[in-house]
Structure 1
């Protein structure tokens, strides 16, 4: 690491941060603070040309590098010790064309500032909820959130992208030009084929939405989970719902959702869920869309300003993983969920189910690299802790939980990196994997873009 302090950065452009700079510790911070990595150079690129220069510099110097946007890689694969981090978070320009209802969005944009800018223009995109997630990683993995069922996956609104390839060339991919790369970039995952610097999206006009929150005592676990899974994937397509299954010590179950219709209509749609088991709280309201963004993102006043000066206030140590349910969970699976949440080593652990179907299933599983079109809902298994000594027991808990549910929910979401899944590539892509490897080999034959869970090249 000492040698890295004197590494010659001549040839790199944009904002350069190296060890010893006052901003270095903030610049190297990961959202998952379980990892404490020390890059030799962090290159905050501000243009596609900066990215091109960085790739060519890294290849010339034979220095390992990673691509980073929002720092949310679950296994911190967007950073590394002793190498170059190509950070595109400052490529965040937003251009809206009201006539065509499209937006050319900088790939480095973080979600909450992006949602704010789009909302000022009367639009949004059907992206995720976490405010500091980067647009590029979210999109390239597929992308879902609280507008998924009415508008599909985020990639379903994608029209075109600009990418810097393995040779440092700036190329375009859409349905006509480099169409195979465009296919792969819709669900193939970030960091595999090149560095995306901008996206062209169809935008969704939006003003207000109706939202709900229902809370139950933990005693209603089986009834509530079963009723939710029989309702959420099949209800009105304008409604996307999630449910948080908390631990027995936390003592609650919470369902939340967003509806693009009126409050009264939402109340009627919720009746099957409300009747499942007597709720403690039922909240339904109609609010400006940007307020819903803040609500689902857990935004607190002053959070953005704090992040600029001190880092992401939500950053913490964790281990998350996930799967997809193509069929409703039988009683045995729900009981396994309950057992794990009854014996959780941390009160903060939980399982979150996200309803899919609707327009998330509007494409065939082979139409995009994102393959999980037939899933009724996703399962996100979440564990976090405070003391370092608590890490191993919580990591074992979440991995054992996923393995226990595999007979009922399998597959993996490329944006939920999990280095404990031995057949990771097959679980992410299933029958789309051979085609992805072919595209990877065509556009990156020397395997310039690589990380432990990345798409390989065909060396045969």
Structure 2
């Protein structure tokens, strides 16, 4: 491999940086790839795919940001093609309030947000974590803080470039390779090839009111009930996250309007009148890149938080176990009790995050893209810390398994594919994409990857 790719770093088990690059940022699941290519451009991606097969390694894994919760972006005895350095961001069309941008599929979200803002004041409806790579994020859907107005990130993908198993480069959009274009906007999962470029539709949000309200633990059930009643059916310009742990809770959100308008909405929700407020932060007239920074710093001025490195360090790795669920009906009191009571005796680093859906989600058919969760009212993500080397027998893992069971009566059986979870078992395809979409993905798979070169434990299988 190294002789074929002289200008790319090829990292084998004897390399000093193998421990860093052999796994992603969530390395709870140990992985031992044959080698890792740090590709600098699309041509090196092509060479990597072809060279691996020539060497008898018929397993190639793409990696952008490396944030897979089960570390699917690394696999035993495979060649990992790390595309983090393919991270260019160029606004190619500016039509005033909207535009187009070409983005290298390895670009981290922080760089995407900064660059499109600096090239015309644009925004994009991706997630909140600046170190996540756009490649995996968009391929699984991509939820962010303007989602109730603009949908998931995959909804604004105009076209993609992909390297196939045989080295062919294809462009997929609404007029060519339409089946692949449909598949990768929520059903990618490293299943069809290696995406090297996205063309995304960007937009301007000139009014961004941000807020963060921290509550103590005294009224957690009442606060969650109030959040449930109000936010999934609120103004689509308002997107919120509600985070709960045994010590208290935090409501954080973005409103595409003024502070006065959103303060009235939060007052109308009934949450403020319940008391127990420890801290409030409100920001008016925050620009769109400052709004991204606010989610991590509670300040619209700390845009430096978005300046993330191309490759992350060992210190950035996190050992945890995460799960997700969707709710098609609001949690009844028994469900609220299960959420709060289950956290009472949780480990110290354990939490649950609620995100309100509704808004534009309810207007998009569930088969428009593989992202099937359009008709849910809310989503839940919950997580617990782990230690390196621990498996599912560890007390913290057992806690989250029990917590999951306590919530099961109140959710719809769907799970978010970007929060992958091997505990789902063999029916992961239906849980992530729904039966109809999963069946369609399985028909598309052999057209582009007939030998199943691109695979993981939860990739789209061959028929």
Q: TM-score, normalised by structure 2?
A: 0.91
Change (3 A) 1:361 1:91: farther
**73, 78, 82: which is aligned to 1:83?**
78
Distance (whole Å) between structure 2 residues aligned to residue 242 and residue 141 of structure 1: 19
| 1:72 positional shift | 0.5
Distance (whole Å) between structure 2 residues aligned to residue 102 and residue 310 of structure 1: 28
Q: Which residue of 1 aligns with 2:5?
A: 12
| 1:138 positional shift | 0.4
| 1:303 positional shift | 6.4
> Which whole-Å deviations, capped at 9, do the CAs of 1:136-178 have from their partners, x for residues lacking one?
1000101111110111111111111111112211001111111
5 Å-filtered alignment, 1:275-314, equals: 275=272, 277-280=274-277, 281-286=279-284, 287-297=286-296, 311=313, 313-314=315-316
Alpha carbons 1:39, 1:81 under 8 Å: kept: yes
| 1:356 positional shift | 1.3
More divergent stretch after superposition (298-307 vs 413-422): 298-307
1:115 and 2:117 correspond:
no
Q: Which residue of 1 aligns with 2:238?
A: 239
5 Å-filtered alignment, 1:84-233, equals: 84-100=79-95, 101-121=99-119, 122-233=121-232
1:62 and 2:56 correspond:
yes
Q: Which residue of 1 aligns with 2:377?
A: 376
Alpha carbons 1:223, 1:276 under 8 Å: kept: no
| 1:49 positional shift | 1.8
| 1:97 positional shift | 2.5
Change (3 A) 1:304 1:358: closer
1:435 and 2:430 correspond:
no
Q: Which residue of 1 aligns with 2:355?
A: 354
1:324 and 2:323 correspond:
no
Q: Secondary structure at the match of 1:322?
A: strand
Change (3 A) 1:220 1:184: same
Distance (whole Å) between structure 2 residues aligned to residue 128 and residue 59 of structure 1: 35
**43, 48, 70: which is aligned to 1:49?**
43
Distance (whole Å) between structure 2 residues aligned to residue 107 and residue 76 of structure 1: 18
Structure 1 unmatched ranges of 5 or more? 1-7
Distance (whole Å) between structure 1 residues aligned to residue 306 and residue 180 of structure 2: 35
- Paired residues in the alignment total 447
Change (3 A) 1:146 1:35: same
| 1:108 positional shift | 0.7
Distance (whole Å) between structure 1 residues aligned to residue 338 and residue 70 of structure 2: 26
Structure 2 unmatched ranges of 5 or more? none
Distance (whole Å) between structure 2 residues aligned to residue 328 and residue 340 of structure 1: 18
Change (3 A) 1:335 1:182: same
> Which whole-Å deviations, capped at 9, do the CAs of 1:229-250 have from their partners, x for residues lacking one?
1111111111100000112xxx
Change (3 A) 1:84 1:389: closer
> Which whole-Å deviations, capped at 9, do the CAs of 1:77-120 have from their partners, x for residues lacking one?
11134431101111111110243411111111001111111111
Change (3 A) 1:389 1:84: closer
Distance (whole Å) between structure 1 residues aligned to residue 181 and residue 311 of structure 2: 37
| 1:383 positional shift | 0.8
Q: Which residue of 2 aligns with 1:444?
A: 449
Distance (whole Å) between structure 1 residues aligned to residue 264 and residue 187 of structure 2: 39
Distance (whole Å) between structure 2 residues aligned to residue 384 and residue 130 of structure 1: 18
Q: Secondary structure at the match of 2:421?
A: coil
Distance (whole Å) between structure 1 residues aligned to residue 273 and residue 395 of structure 2: 34
> Which whole-Å deviations, capped at 9, do the CAs of 1:186-237 have from their partners, x for residues lacking one?
1103301111111111101134511111222212111111110111111111
Alpha carbons 1:12, 1:57 under 8 Å: kept: no
| 1:273 positional shift | 3.8
Alpha carbons 1:152, 1:362 under 8 Å: kept: no
| 1:12 positional shift | 3.3
Distance (whole Å) between structure 2 residues aligned to residue 55 and residue 41 of structure 1: 12
Change (3 A) 1:441 1:83: closer
Alpha carbons 2:27, 2:70 under 8 Å: kept: no
Change (3 A) 1:130 1:285: same
Alpha carbons 2:290, 2:303 under 8 Å: kept: no
Q: Secondary structure at the match of 1:451?
A: coil
What is the CA RMSD across the aligned residues, in angstroms?
2.2
Q: Secondary structure at the match of 2:232?
A: coil
